[in-house]
Structure 1
Amino acid sequence: MAIAPPPSNGGKKQFNKNQIQKRNRVLSARNIRTEAVIASAKANKKDGSNDLSEGGTMLNVGQFISSRQFEIKELQLAMHRSKVSGSTRVFQDLPRRLRRRTASHNVKRIPKRMRNRALREMMKNDQEKTILKTSSSRHGLTAKALYKAKMSVKLLRLASTSTSMKLALPPKVNASANGVRQKIRTLQALIKKSRAPCSRVKKLNNSMGSYDNITTNKLAQVPHGRQKYMKRQHVFAWLPTHIWNAKRSHMMKRWGYQIPYSATQKCFKMTHRIGGNVSTSDGTLCMDSSFMGTIVVRATDAKTEKLRDLIAKITSNRAIAPKYYNSNKVFSGLFTDPLTMLVLGPGEIIWCNHNLLLLRVHPAMFQKVFEILAVREFGFKVEDSRFAIGSITINGAESLSSLTSIIRSSTKSESFEQLKLISNVTDQNILPKDMSFSFKAIDPRHFGAPKKVKQNPKEVTIDKIMELQANTPKNEICETLEALCSTRERTTSYKNQQTMKQIHKRRRDMTKKGEHVSKNAIIPFDEKKDPEIPIYIYKRESTNDWVILMPWFWHLPFWYQLNKIPRKYNIGLRQFQQLQFEHKKLYFPDDYPFTETGFHENSYYKEEVNQYSCRASRLRRRFKSLGDLHKTKIPACKYEFGCHSSCDWRALQILRNGLLFLTKGNKKLILIDAKKTSDFVSDDPFDISNYSEPERKIESLNDLVEYTNDFQYEEGVPISRVPVELVDSHLVKEKVIRTQSDLVKQPLKVTAVTCKSVERGHIKDNARIYEIPKDQLSYWKQKAKGVYSSNGKLLHDEETPLPEVYNLIGFVTSGTYDLGVGSSTGTGFVDHGFYKHTDSTHVLVRNVQTCKYRLATIEKIII
């Protein structure tokens, strides 16, 4: 018997019961209710007005919106319902940054306001719920003894199983003769039964083990923290927030620290929106900046002038100006070596008083600055406070509002009242420059949840904001700053520092006794037993952010409370570099090739990271397939000039100095001398005692390129041999290259510029900057105005004339798309001689491993 075919459904898909229910829910969510159309709107309005003007041609917007208020609200509700209609489980409603794989069955990973709904969903689906259990306290063995016992078990097992270790031991020493198995059992039993009660020894003056790690005139030891993680911190120290950041950020091991490099989630647009000076900034960006090296310098009254003179030499007489020396304003600028007068890098100086100052420098240059200050002949007391003073950097319109939500002063403070006054100001540009606040705060964990300070908006006026600088409480700020820099005061702040368990118990006891506990469960401050924390808050004009300095072991409590605030996001060095890039500021060390650290970063570290041979074969660009990179083919320059994976400043120095050497005396530049090969000049070859390597004779551009290939970068180049030197002003003497040895000895003077793409094109790191040849000016001027085809469209990818090799004038150290400008931009350096004599602002930019030249404009960056 034949089987009857299934009934035809016209080719449409048949939905089951659950699919039909979900489909109806989505359709219902997208349904927008409307009011019935009124035939005569004029007759139904009380004032007799109409939506149209008297002439009947223009719409009265206000009246129309009020009459269609119901439809507008329904449209907004429909948009909201449609957005959440597809979410069936509670963990699907969470923001993307709060979603975890365990959130579907672990109610502890879901916000409290959603846990009841999550439990109902789990009960409905017969799903088991997981609740985290806190580990019980360990007694008996200490952490160090427990670690040694576990390591002993591992080593004994390895010695009894490894053949190589057995052969290395004497013949009579074996596992059976020495009772290895019995020793392993004994150690395992000791580990298992190490729960006997023992007297806990209090460390210092608190139960959290906080201490002040500081040394005088020598480098401090790295704190290793818990015994469990000691092995991981032998070379690179952990920041206070390392465990928190390791779960949410990509970490980077540099300069002796493990630093958060970038947030795990994509946050390029979010960083621009919140951290930039734009109206859409409605949150806070937060970064642990405790990796910045902190130095405290003390001098006696007899050596005050000597300290002032030393700081004047380091900062080129800038940090001793009255606005810094006689007040608590923060100096931010370049540090120089007082012996060689060469730039070391950027840093900050805060004068607490005439005999006491605090310095903050990048960890890459910390040791050099510390050695300069700790010279014995000066006789200063130089304290390494890297692991004694921590810092947090915040940015965004809600920075001060977030900060005042977790901070309260322990006593009445004029500085804290000023901070409260401007806490709700979202436009940071209207605030006075170099603002700072300093007071003693209470433990931020006294707050059950962050609570914003109550501030009447009418009290905040422009006049009051402008009066803040004139009415700064200098005495209070000086006293708190001195307490922050004092070892005794920092140790006092750790006195009676409580654990979270003790704080929760204190809050429960207050509730049981019927004492006053506010809605946010704030524990009142007790002067007799609660600690006071000296903190210092200041604004940095160069980076447009706020820095909070505090004792090292108070950093983590402030960090955890700060992360409870809504619209707060963590960032790393990559996002900080993005903000510097968008504000047209240099980022250390990537954009500082005129320093020893920056030159090493450009010429060695980035070259090692961008190794061509380490890439997969499918990602390697074939240089032969690129075509011609320059107008004239130079035999010595087959592909890229200099290193193709970094900014080759040594090659640029030799090229620009060599052009002056070849054209001195109005000589004509010879590109290639086809009549001869390379010549070498050397001493008497038969005199072995005075023998030296022959030196290449430079008579043409090809010889000059060969000369650059002879030099290879050496790691650890001293600052005196850095090939480039920064120049800020036009009042610089003309450079004269007399001998061939001056090509390498005389550094190339460069100017910092920002490049903006005129047309299409994406400027990348290590891009080459060329000057426009004189015979091509007319073409590129027309290109700047736009070259159109017959159908009216712009021509972008047409063939363009190529410049010569000697037209290279600089490199791009940082290049990407700038959301603030709306086009691709780059930060770089060009030859100061070119920038001084040119009248045009247009240059050519070419990315590495490409043959396409793009037109761009340059603008000088003021440092």
Structure 2
Amino acid sequence: MAQPTLPAPSAPSKKRKDPPINSAFRPHAQKKQKTDHRARQRDARTLSTQTTSKAFHNGALDVSAFIKAREYEITALQQGIQRSGHANNRRAFQQVPKELRRRTASHNAKKVPKRLRRRAEKEMIEDNTPTVTARRRKPTGHMRLRLDTMKRLRALGAQKRAAKDKAKEGKADATGQPDRAAAILPRKPKLKKQPTLAKPPTPKARFRKRQIHKSWLPTHLFHTKRAHMTPPSAPLWRFSIPLTPTQKSYRPTHRAANERGAVAWDMSYIATIALEGREDSIESLLRGLRVDMAQGRAKWKNGTRCREVWIYGRDSKHPIAPVTIIWSASSTVEVQPSSRKRTLFLRMHPSAFTQTWEEVLKMARTAKPAVTVEDLRFEIGSIDITGPGSTEALLAALWPTQTPTEEVSVEKTWASLLGLTNPASLPAGAMLAFDTQDPRLHHPPRTVQPPTSQQEYDNLLRLIAEWPVDRLLTNPVIFDRIARQEGSRLPSQKAINRRKSLATPGAYPEAIATDPAIPILLYTTPDSDRRTQSTWTLLAPWKTIQPIWYSIQYYPLSTGHQPRFGGLNEKRQLAFQRGIAWFPADYPGTDAGWEWEMQERRVRLEEWKKRPKAKRVSWERVDLGGGRRGEVGDGLACDWSLLLRREEAAVAREEGQATTRPEGLAHLPPAHAREVLSNAASTSPSPIDGKLATIRLTLITRGVPQTCARIYRLPRTDIALRKSWLTLLEKPNGNHKHHLPTTVALPKDASPHLLQRRLAQSLLYTAQAGEETYPSCPGEEDLIGFVTTGNFNLAEGKGTGMGCVMLAKVLEDVRSGEDEVRRLCVVRNSGEGIARLGRWEVV
């Protein structure tokens, strides 16, 4: 009997698929072919044809077959033409730049530029695309009542305005002259003896409820449509400030600010305090704020330069904030310098305004003769603009009111700056003041072509070298209160449009005598680094900031771009990439810096709590090497209390009092910190106990420092660990393709050349992060500071950071005299166990 045939055993089932074959060992036929992105266009342009051989049968022409073949080819030609046209065809919403596209663009023709709306509407009709009007929300009963009430109020307001205009016309007809009461200018406002804080301008009725607990910038409506703003319930420094544009802007901002284009910010939230009085009284007040009056005295006191200094409180030795000081030019020469009346502007960050205001008032009360103090926060606004195209954009937006006949003037100097690509080429803190016309008369602005000949560039270099503005000593009109008020009385937009319609086609309206003269003041960043881009700062009356802003934003640069706008994040980004400390985040030793740190701690804690436990860092399990576990201090903060008194800090954290500011923590300005480090041999640690210095951090090896990263000095007690870190300095990580892994042991009978190669590799090879031979992180006793701002630096092409160190802890390394190790440090990100070798310098 034959045995039944059994089926072949099936292969065992696999829960996982086999890994893909390495492409290096894959046969050529199995390699993945590259995607042909133009196959669709090639197929659309390929025409189908038929050979003529089928039309001939035994040498005779088959007419019907010949006609059908030609008909087929003609049809294929017509279809090919249509396919080829549709292959390159793009819809209207695809014609706009990528950063301007929206998901609703294909369903709403109003989301595309005006020049493409008619085409978009046609495409929507052809494709039967549903429109948003068909799904528009119908008003509810409550909304209908509100709309009716608003309609009645508008009608009532129109009737009142019409009655008022009719009464004015009747009065003018009766007297034969227009109403002179409307043309009378208000009297010069008298300053009160007791200085008071400025009140924000009264907003329109429909926006009044939105500004009860905060104020809007002059360009608020521009930014709300294009940027992420501070939450309505959580304003920043009592202002609604744009944080970042809604479109992706990190890399475009870097390119516009350094390579081509320009980036502008509305900085009207920067506070301005005016001091008016005798020159000697103002100087004594500045000395009370511990301002060095000798540095740069000549040009700074004459009013041709601005200067940035640190100010201190009278009763405390702790610094308050960096302020920009601007003197008015001296108008009277025959009067003695000590008795001349001068005006001075103090400009500071809004986070330090209250503290500065109180200190200035204390000293103004004791000054003899008296010094008048005035708050100009909502009277003077400002715009910052940086980048290679910043000067070009300002030249197109600012039209001086007059063209002087003198050979040397501020207006002519300003017009001669066309072609300047970096304001840092000018003298540090250089100032230009003149009156400008209403920017709306020249809107939209037209491209100003930069110079192209070598002679024009030579003239520009000669102008920068001589800088004739220093010899003019013209007093900026912006210091005059009456001039600021008259410059703020701008005509209505309807009047501007009427003048434009009467002008010659293609020409701007001519200036008339009644046009307001807007006083402005331009100055470059004081003490700027010549290696990086500098920034123009424009001061103008508060109400004129908006028209100037629109002229800058809509100016077509000669490079083919338009100036970008930035928010608070972009301001910090560019300061970080240029290696400049940003106040107040990088100065935690000040009151404003500590308040910012507390706010950031709360934000980081909320984000940490939102994550599930499996996705967030467990601070107790952080492996620091050498058997140590647990993060040093609070992992979500720059725990400065840990550096002062570790025992008290631990008790405070247990009791929940870690938010209070540590006693004795203070900040040293950069100039004072450099002086302490240069005289480290003669400086004792006790006077600088608790003093912080802001530093710029650069990693020698790989890695990117993040905010709240820990900064350690090289170990001083563990000599072996210190030498292992210094080994990374001697043999930094490089190309290690040719080293053999140390885990592979050579056989006993290995040839001599293999032994020599292994020995050479062991001498040249540096341990990589994560390996057992990589040095571990130093101990808590070697902690010297924290990173306040850290990220990958696009300008440097590697990870950098800004941080602060305790000066008393770094003096020992500075005194050692070893140049190559005195600025070395070890950086470890919070929540990570791997540390990196870096180098720091005071900024």
Distance 1:478 1:100, change over 3 A: farther
| Unmatched tracts of structure 1, length 5 or more | 1-21, 31-81, 132-152, 158-180, 511-515, 656-702, 738-744
Question: How many Å apart are 1:614 and its aligned residue?
Answer: 2.9
- Correspondent of 1:530 among 504, 509, 515: 515
Matches within 5 A, 1:208-607: 217-252=195-230, 253-276=235-258, 281-299=259-277, 303-318=278-293, 321-353=297-329, 355-374=342-361, 375-378=364-367, 379-413=370-404, 414-453=409-448, 456-458=451-453, 459-462=455-458, 464-468=460-464, 470-473=466-469, 478-479=474-475, 481=476, 483-495=477-489, 497-510=490-503, 516-517=504-505, 519=506, 521-527=507-513, 529-542=514-527, 544-566=534-556, 567-602=562-597, 604-607=598-601
2:787 matches 1:797: no
Q: Verify the 8 A CA contact 1:329 1:435 in the aligned structure 2.
A: yes
Distance 1:305 1:26, change over 3 A: farther
Choose 646-655 or 581-590, whichever is displaced more. Answer: 646-655
Tell me which amino acid in the other structure corresponds to 2:100.
Answer: L
- Correspondent of 2:707 among 752, 759, 765: 765
Q: Verify the 8 A CA contact 1:760 1:796 in the aligned structure 2.
A: no
Other-structure match for 1:670: none
Distance 1:392 1:609, change over 3 A: same
Q: Verify the 8 A CA contact 1:404 1:420 in the aligned structure 2.
A: yes
Distance 1:724 1:407, change over 3 A: closer
So what's the TM-score if we normalise by structure 2?
A: 0.71
2:834 matches 1:852: yes
Question: How many Å apart are 1:128 and its aligned residue?
Answer: 9.2
Choose 267-276 or 576-585, whichever is displaced more. Answer: 267-276
Question: How many Å apart are 1:500 and its aligned residue?
Answer: 2.1
Q: Verify the 8 A CA contact 2:272 2:345 in the aligned structure 1.
A: yes
Distance 1:722 1:129, change over 3 A: same
Choose 331-340 or 578-587, whichever is displaced more. Answer: 331-340
CA RMSD of aligned residues (A): 3.9
Distance, in Å, in 1 between the alignment partners of 2:148 and 2:713 is 78
Other-structure match for 1:779: 724
Tell me which amino acid in the other structure corresponds to 2:421.
Answer: T
Q: Verify the 8 A CA contact 1:262 1:572 in the aligned structure 2.
A: yes
Other-structure match for 1:816: 791
Distance, in Å, in 1 between the alignment partners of 2:429 and 2:43 is 56
Q: Verify the 8 A CA contact 1:537 1:546 in the aligned structure 2.
A: yes
Distance, in Å, in 2 between the alignment partners of 1:228 and 1:724 is 45
Question: How many Å apart are 1:456 and its aligned residue?
Answer: 4.5
Distance, in Å, in 1 between the alignment partners of 2:452 and 2:789 is 42
Other-structure match for 1:168: none
Question: How many Å apart are 1:369 and its aligned residue?
Answer: 1.6
Tell me which amino acid in the other structure corresponds to 2:622.
Answer: L
Distance 1:812 1:398, change over 3 A: same
Deviations 1:353-381 (A, max 9, x none): 35111121000111222222234233222
Q: Verify the 8 A CA contact 1:213 1:387 in the aligned structure 2.
A: no
Q: Verify the 8 A CA contact 2:418 2:451 in the aligned structure 1.
A: no
Matches within 5 A, 1:621-640: 621-627=617-623, 629=624, 631=626, 639-640=630-631
Tell me which amino acid in the other structure corresponds to 2:784.
Answer: I
Question: How many Å apart are 1:796 and its aligned residue?
Answer: 3.0
SS of 2:571's equivalent in the other structure is helix
2:674 matches 1:728: yes
Distance, in Å, in 2 between the alignment partners of 1:764 and 1:103 is 38
Tell me which amino acid in the other structure corresponds to 2:239.
Answer: Y
Distance 1:239 1:595, change over 3 A: same
Distance 1:394 1:422, change over 3 A: same
Q: Verify the 8 A CA contact 1:606 1:645 in the aligned structure 2.
A: no
The percent of aligned pairs where both chains have the same amino acid is 25
Distance, in Å, in 2 between the alignment partners of 1:400 and 1:506 is 28
Question: How many Å apart are 1:428 and its aligned residue?
Answer: 4.1
Other-structure match for 1:92: 94
Q: Verify the 8 A CA contact 1:809 1:830 in the aligned structure 2.
A: yes
Question: How many Å apart are 1:813 and its aligned residue?
Answer: 0.8
Deviations 1:503-554 (A, max 9, x none): 22222234xxxxx34x2x4111112x21111111111145611011111111
Question: How many Å apart are 1:240 and its aligned residue?
Answer: 0.8
| Unmatched tracts of structure 2, length 5 or more | 1-37, 47-83, 134-140, 166-178, 331-341, 529-533, 557-561, 742-760
Question: How many Å apart are 1:770 and its aligned residue?
Answer: 1.2
Distance, in Å, in 2 between the alignment partners of 1:587 and 1:213 is 37
Question: How many Å apart are 1:581 and its aligned residue?
Answer: 1.1
Q: How many residues align structurally?
A: 661
Question: How many Å apart are 1:749 and its aligned residue?
Answer: 2.9
Question: How many Å apart are 1:119 and its aligned residue?
Answer: 5.6
Distance, in Å, in 2 between the alignment partners of 1:748 and 1:837 is 15
Deviations 1:70-127 (A, max 9, x none): xxxxxxxxxxxx9x97661122111133334565466665445545644654565577
Matches within 5 A, 1:694-773: 706=650, 709=653, 713=657, 717=661, 721-722=664-665, 725=668, 727-729=673-675, 730=677, 731=679, 734-735=683-684, 747-773=689-715
SS of 1:611's equivalent in the other structure is helix
Distance, in Å, in 2 between the alignment partners of 1:492 and 1:475 is 28
So what's the TM-score if we normalise by structure 1?
A: 0.69
Distance 1:93 1:111, change over 3 A: same
Q: Verify the 8 A CA contact 1:642 1:708 in the aligned structure 2.
A: no
Q: Verify the 8 A CA contact 2:302 2:473 in the aligned structure 1.
A: no
Distance 1:442 1:205, change over 3 A: farther
Question: How many Å apart are 1:400 and its aligned residue?
Answer: 0.8
Q: Verify the 8 A CA contact 2:329 2:473 in the aligned structure 1.
A: no
Distance, in Å, in 1 between the alignment partners of 2:720 and 2:191 is 64
Distance 1:555 1:456, change over 3 A: same
Tell me which amino acid in the other structure corresponds to 2:840.
Answer: E
Q: Verify the 8 A CA contact 2:667 2:693 in the aligned structure 1.
A: no
Q: Verify the 8 A CA contact 1:437 1:477 in the aligned structure 2.
A: no
Deviations 1:290-341 (A, max 9, x none): 0000112111xxx320111212332531477222112320111222223323
2:603 matches 1:609: yes
Q: Verify the 8 A CA contact 1:212 1:490 in the aligned structure 2.
A: no
Tell me which amino acid in the other structure corresponds to 1:340.
Answer: S
Distance 1:190 1:409, change over 3 A: closer
Tell me which amino acid in the other structure corresponds to 2:782.
Answer: N
SS of 1:254's equivalent in the other structure is coil
